[in-house]
């Protein structure tokens, strides 16, 4: 049995507390009126080039002349709508920081659940020793899923402006959104989210129950049942995951659409999930809890990290290159926004998620070096956080993005919660299954 080390527990509590404070600071410092929003932007600009008030005005009005006091009526109206837009972006920032971090950690446990179901459905001989680790990580599906759902409910209740199609005023003036209203309407949106989460959580809980029952039983009926449920879950998962990515992520840009988006999000969550399995396994092994897990298991996980990183890049590039090549205005705005305002995170993510794992994890020997895998894993996880950041932020905060207090607060809070929940679940059952039919093969696994 695993005992939750006190240092890790206290560390996770501290991370949660600091994260909560940072998030609260983010929410408090978000502007509530247009004037405050303008002041915030003006202050940011003053820091930059010490310009006077006139310069800021000129910048905001989009005029070329300094100190634009000759605004026409038309421009004044434009100014007002621009200011309101700016206010919404700044108000969205703490919400988006919360949502990105909440979704990122939720997607890790969902990715692990998919990996777990695949291992069961494929009857993999190497991985049964790691099933308990995976079950521990997927336990976060319940709190993480509920938090994401609550954020979606709050969005529907107009607490923020992350999803513009939820605003009835906007839809009234937007033919495109009216056309999509049959799918993108708040009630159906929440019903779908509840079905997705319900299905995933049900499979996770039931599979865990069967997995624990298999330890105590004297035949393999639980194992066979688990195999069948896992295969069925994978069918359900592929459909719901794709729809989830349209609902929860693509719909922040409701004018834009992409057909392989679901796969792209899947690749991101899959590789982050596998990375976390590898990192937690290495951690537990270093503490002496997984004595039968050897370097070959780590090697296999690292191979998955390497291969799925490349798979992610393949999907990223396929989506990007098709849109870049055809350059159809209604599609290409998505990338123009990212190229103009998100250069560093957008291309930095590519280096972290592709070039780094490609070069570091290519060598077969390095995949067996545990600290190497941990180091690569940290970079991959940061890269996929940036990936989610790049998917959500351009639509919600636009060019007003920063990786500052609210964003770090979100990572700390959900990271702490994730660590606490996962390791707390790991203490609930023995880390090595007792009578899985493939257990002996997994124990002797050697590559």
* Minimal distance, residue 382 CB to other proteins, in Å: 24
Q: Give residues with Cβ within 8 angstroms of 269, minimum separation 6.
A: 107, 108, 110, 111, 114, 241
Burial class (CB in 10 A: 0-12, 13-18, 19+), 133: buried
| Of 325 and 371, CB closest to other proteins | 325
How far is CA 306 from each of CA 263, 264, 270, 302, rounded to the nearest angstrom? 17, 16, 12, 6
* Minimal distance, residue 235 CB to other proteins, in Å: 32
* Minimal distance, residue 355 CB to other proteins, in Å: 13
**3 in contact with other proteins (CB under 8 A):** no
Q: Which residue has the tokens 């250069």?
A: 343
Size of the site for other proteins (CB under 8 A): 8
* Minimal distance, residue 349 CB to other proteins, in Å: 16
- Rg for the chain (alpha carbons), in Å? 24
Q: What is the distance between the alpha carbons of residues 268 and 315, in angstroms, rounded to a whole number?
A: 10
| Of 44 and 321, CB closest to other proteins | 321
Site string for other proteins, 267-306 (x = CB under 8 A): ----------------------------------------
**Sequence-separated contacts (24+) of 372-375 with Cβ below 8 Å:** 373/278, 373/279, 373/282, 373/298, 373/301, 373/302, 373/305, 374/279, 374/282
Site string for other proteins, 354-393 (x = CB under 8 A): --------x-x-----------------------------
* Minimal distance, residue 320 CB to other proteins, in Å: 7
Site string for other proteins, 387-426 (x = CB under 8 A): ----------------------------------------
Grouping H, G, I as helix, E, B as strand and the rest as coil, residue 63 is coil
Burial class (CB in 10 A: 0-12, 13-18, 19+), 243: middle
Q: What is the distance between the alpha carbons of residues 32 and 55, in angstroms, rounded to a whole number?
A: 24
- Can you read off the two tokens belonging to residue 95? 């919400």
* Minimal distance, residue 317 CB to other proteins, in Å: 7
* Minimal distance, residue 339 CB to other proteins, in Å: 11
Stretch that binds other proteins, among 119-127, 142-150, 222-230, 313-321 (CB under 8 A): 313-321
From the list 336, 340, 268, 275, the residue with the least C-alpha distance to 305 is 275
Site string for other proteins, 314-353 (x = CB under 8 A): ---x--xx--xx-x--------------------------
| Of 236 and 320, CB closest to other proteins | 320
* Minimal distance, residue 324 CB to other proteins, in Å: 5
Q: Give residues with Cβ within 8 angstroms of 17, minimum separation 6.
A: 416
| Of 358 and 378, CB closest to other proteins | 358
| Of 321 and 336, CB closest to other proteins | 321
Query: Exposure pattern of 291-310 as b/e (b: 16+ CB <10 Å)?
Result: eebbbebbbbbbebbbebbb
The residues that touch other proteins, with contacts defined as CB under 8 A, are 317, 320-321, 324-325, 327, 362, 364
């Amino acid at each position: 049995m695993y005992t939750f080390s006190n240092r890790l527990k206290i560390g996770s509590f501290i991370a949660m507390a600091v994260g909560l404070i940072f998030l609260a600071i983010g929410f408090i410092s978000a502007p509530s009126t247009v004037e405050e929003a303008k002041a915030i932007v003006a202050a940011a600009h003053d820091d930059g080039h010490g310009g006077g008030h006139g310069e800021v005005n000129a910048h905001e009005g989009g005029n070329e002349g300094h100190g634009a006091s000759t605004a026409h009526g038309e421009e004044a109206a434009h100014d007002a709508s621009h200011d309101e837009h700016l206010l919404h972006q700044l108000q969205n920032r703490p919400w988006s920081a919360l949502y990105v971090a909440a979704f990122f950690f939720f997607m890790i446990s969902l990715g692990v659940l998919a990996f777990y179901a695949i291992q069961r459905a494929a009857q993999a001989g190497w991985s049964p020793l790691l099933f308990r680790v995976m079950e521990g990580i997927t336990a976060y599906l319940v709190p993480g899923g509920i938090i994401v759902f609550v954020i979606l409910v709050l969005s529907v209740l107009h607490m923020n402006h992350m999803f513009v199609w939820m605003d009835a005023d906007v839809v009234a003036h937007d033919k495109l959104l009216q056309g999509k209203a049959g799918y993108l309407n708040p009630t159906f949106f929440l019903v779908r989210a509840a079905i997705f989460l319900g299905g995933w959580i049900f499979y996770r809980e039931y599979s865990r129950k069967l997995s624990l029952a298999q330890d105590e039983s004297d035949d393999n009926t639980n194992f066979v049942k688990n195999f069948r449920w896992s295969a069925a879950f994978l069918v359900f998962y592929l459909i719901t995951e794709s729809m989830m990515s349209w609902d929860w992520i693509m719909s922040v840009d409701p004018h834009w659409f992409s057909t392989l988006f679901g796969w792209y999000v899947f690749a991101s969550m899959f590789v982050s999930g596998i990375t976390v399995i590898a990192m937690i396994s290495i951690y537990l092994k270093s503490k002496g809890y997984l004595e039968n897990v050897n370097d070959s298991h780590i090697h296999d996980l690292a191979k998955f990290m390497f291969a799925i990183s490349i798979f992610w890049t393949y999907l990223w590039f396929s989506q990007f290159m098709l849109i870049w090549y055809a350059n159809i205005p209604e599609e290409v705005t998505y990338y123009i926004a990212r190229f103009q305002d998100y250069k560093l995170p957008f291309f930095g993510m590519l280096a972290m998620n592709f070039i780094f794992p490609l070069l570091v994890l290519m060598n077969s020997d390095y995949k067996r070096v545990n600290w190497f895998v941990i180091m690569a894993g940290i970079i991959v996880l940061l890269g996929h956080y940036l990936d989610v950041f790049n998917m959500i932020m351009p639509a919600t905060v636009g060019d007003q993005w920063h990786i500052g207090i609210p964003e770090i607060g979100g990572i700390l809070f959900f990271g702490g919660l994730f660590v606490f929940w996962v390791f707390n679940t790991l203490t609930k059952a023995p880390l090595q299954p007792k009578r899985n039919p493939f257990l002996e093969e997994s124990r002797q696994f050697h590559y």
